[in-house]
A and B are shown apart, each in its own frame.
Chain A
Amino acid sequence: MEDILKILNEFRPDINFQSSERLIDDGLLDSLDIVNIVAELDSEFDIEIPVEEITPENFNSVSAINRLVDRLKEEA
């Protein structure tokens, strides 16, 4: 969870990720951020986040991202 937070902060140091549950819905992260973050997550955790998983449910909060990453790690 901390490594995910580190990655997020690397791209958007201006956002307080811990306090938001609506990162996508509130427009805090845009498509460019998503791409950068996903590319980094793929590389860091050796997973492949497919495009269909890029949904608000999976990216609205740090814990949601964490759940996604854990699930994909297991399926790999």
Chain B
Amino acid sequence: MTFNSLHFFIFFPIVAMLYYIIPKKYQWIWLLIVSYVFYLLANFKFGFFLMSTTVTTYYAAIGVGKINEHQKDVLLANKDTYAKEQIKELKANSKKHKKQVVAGVLLINFGILAFLKYSNFFIKSVDGVLGAFHSSASVPTLKLLLPLGISFYTFQAMGYVIDVYRGKYQPEKNLAKLALFLSFFPQIMEGPIGRYNELAHQLYGQHEFDYNNAKFGLQLMLWGYFKKVVIADRAGILVNMVYSNYQSFSGLQVAFVAVIYAVQIYADFSGYIDIATGAAQFLGIRLAPNFNRPYFSKSVSEFWRRWHISLGTWFKDYLFYPLSLSKTGINLGKFSRKHFSPAFAKNVPAFFGLSVVWLTTGLWHGSDWHYVIYGVYYGALIILSMQCKPLLQSLTAKLRIPTESFGWKLFRVARTFSLVCLGFILFRAENMGIAFSMMKSIFTLSKPALSTSFIFNNFTRTDFAFLILSIIVLVIVSLLQRKRNLRETLSKQNIVFRWSIYCTAALSVIFLGVLASNDPSQFIYFQF
């Protein structure tokens, strides 16, 4: 079941209404049941992987908790007899055991994820190398099932274990409750990746029906559907056509479609997140924000703080900091201080962390080389901008550029957006060769032998008009969101205005939406 199937329109109202009718102490159990139903209806076999992650995570966290308790007991029992060295040794021992438990569960779960997601990528690369040596040997690729949402719930689970290890909170003693944390249906398929300390008490708590939450939640879902079904799916038709046939189009057309793809992926992903967040809000649960009008960012670093926020913060807390501040990171810094300029050396631990994070981010998005390059692209941009910051600052000062002016801010936004659109070509193109050809065609403003129009039988002039119109609506809403909370402002308007908006939006979704039988694009982030 996906969010845009008819079944969901029956599933969700029933789930939500029963949620508020049953006794409040059973609400979390109801959520657990419906979340598993929702997930298993997609594919029964996926349940095995989700459950194994849940069980291993549960026992690992409990194990860490037990080691901590044991340490506390021993220290208490020997409060007056232990010397400082003995205490230190005990603590070091406990830490070692905890590390082993955590390393074990990380290995199992990331191992499963890596195997299911990347083994065919690995095999194909090996075959490529073998081919380069003109070997006729080849490894056959495996027929593997990739459970939906595995990249999301695995990260969420491992974040929880690492937090327990770090002593942020006590492990969850109830396996069923932990199962709900990892399977909560609004967020299991495409995120946002949640944190236990923010979600747990909301998921397990008792919720009274709140009129505003219900209203705002439904409005957000409607907006999400509008973005996904009216904008993203329609844009997808044009984008798919041009990407599969880019040689027939001019550089300018390819550039235009690159921008349209940026709109498509934003509308698709943020649309799905809005539906998820709205559904959760209806149930009285607040999910972590995942988007903050990212295309208004003034730098690439800022973009990645406003796009897929929950992934960025996950990588920051669980990969970037530990790596940069690890012995390796610190030693690299010390080494650089001895051999390179201080201006460079002081950034080295961060560069080390960034390189690994961006390689991983690229890989996380897909199991192919162009995804890796996608990550490397942003890593390189961020590292370069860090290293060149003082130089650029002195340059803008020399040129006497008014950095607080609207014009300069607009320039920075346009520059960032262009870089992002280029990055998305790497993401969307089938392979590196196509991506580079498309970029070359943009930069050389190439013209094909025969000019080709965007309009074809699956994408008529009216489709194009509606696409542009709906994008304008999106831009207007984004601009309005800068200064105010739109849903609250809307609630203050008169009823006729409000209901006209709701009815227009709903009618647009029904009539302008590209529907199932017209072969809609699957939610782009679905198979992650």
Contacts and interface: CB of A to CB of B under 8 A. Distances in A.
Chain A interface category by residue count:
10 to 19
Nearest to A33: B350
A51 B167 contact: no
Nearest to A7: B346
Contact of B321 (A40, A43, A54): A54
Given A42-B330, A43-B330, A54-B321, A35 B349 contact: yes
Interface string B311-337: 000001100111011000110011000
Chain A's interface: helix, strand, loop or mixed, by majority?
helix
Contacts of B334: 43
A1 interface: no
B325 A31 contact: no
B333 A43 contact: yes
B320 A31 contact: yes
Contacts of A10: 346
A32 B350 contact: yes
Contacts of A36: 346-347, 349-350
B258 to A, nearest CB: 28
B338 interface: no
B168 A11 contact: no
Interface string A15-36: 0000000000000001110111
Nearest to B318: A51
A4 to B, nearest CB: 16
Contact of B320 (A11, A35, A39, A42): A35
Interface string B458-477: 00000000000000000000
Chain B interface category by residue count:
20 to 34
Contacts of B317: 51
A54 B168 CA distance: 12
B435 to A, nearest CB: 28
Given A35-B353, A36-B347, A52 B166 contact: yes
Given A31-B316, A31-B320, A51-B317, A39 B330 contact: yes
Interface in B163-184: 166-168
B301 interface: yes
A51 B301 CA distance: 21
A51 B346 contact: no
Given A35-B350, A38-B325, A52-B167, 19 more contacts: A30-B305, A31-B320, A31-B321, A32-B354, A34-B321, A35-B320, A35-B325, A35-B349, A36-B347, A36-B350, A39-B329, A39-B349, A43-B334, A49-B325, A50-B166, A51-B166, A51-B317, A51-B321, A51-B325
